[in-house]
Amino acid sequence: MVPVLFLGLFDLLKQEKFSWKPILMAGIAAGLIGLTTPYYAYMTILMTVIFLLGFYSFQRLQALEICNVLEKSAVICYSGSCPDRNFHVTVSPLEFPE
């Protein structure tokens, strides 16, 4: 039931318009998990909090990274020194220590 709960949470966080399906899926899964034992309920709550914190921090980090990349590329290209994207890297086996 735990994967169903996280599928419902992920669908709920990613939905663009309102839908009852992810709410019901996550709610029913959380209710069934809560009926088993308190240990599973507490661990599910803990994992849900960690999942939500990770989801929101990853979204924020990804948005900041995209903004930084766009800002740096705009500054570099505006100055007239756009880097050449065609490069070739060769690595020999002797470069890696054993």
- The answer to whether residue 67 sits within a structural domain is yes
Q: What is the pTM of this model?
A: 0.56
Total domain count, the chain: 1
Please, what is the average pLDDT of the chain? Answer: 76
Closest CA to 6 of 19, 25, 34: 25
Domain contains 47: yes
Q: Is 95 part of a structural domain of the chain?
A: no
Residues of the domain holding 52: 2-80
Let me know if residue 92 belongs to a domain.
no
- The tens digit of pLDDT for each residue in 55-81 reads 888 877 776 676 666 666 655 555 555
Q: What is the pLDDT of residue 88?
A: 56
89: in domain: no
Q: Go through 50-69 and write b for each residue having 16 or more CB atoms within 10 A of its CB, e for each that does not.
A: eeeeeeeeeeeeeeeeeeee
Does residue 15 belong to any structural domain of this protein? yes
Residue 30, domain member (yes or no): yes
- Confidence band, pLDDT 50/70/90 cuts, at residue 52: confident
pLDDT tens by residue, 3-14: 888 888 888 888
Please determine, for residue 31, whether its predicted confidence score (pLDDT) is greater than 70.
yes
What per-residue confidence (pLDDT) applies to 95? 60
Answer yes or no: is 96 within a domain: no
- Residue 83: per-residue pLDDT: 54
The label of the residue with tokens 């966080």 reads 13
Measured at the CA of 23, the angle between CA 21 and CA 28, to 5 degrees, comes to: 95
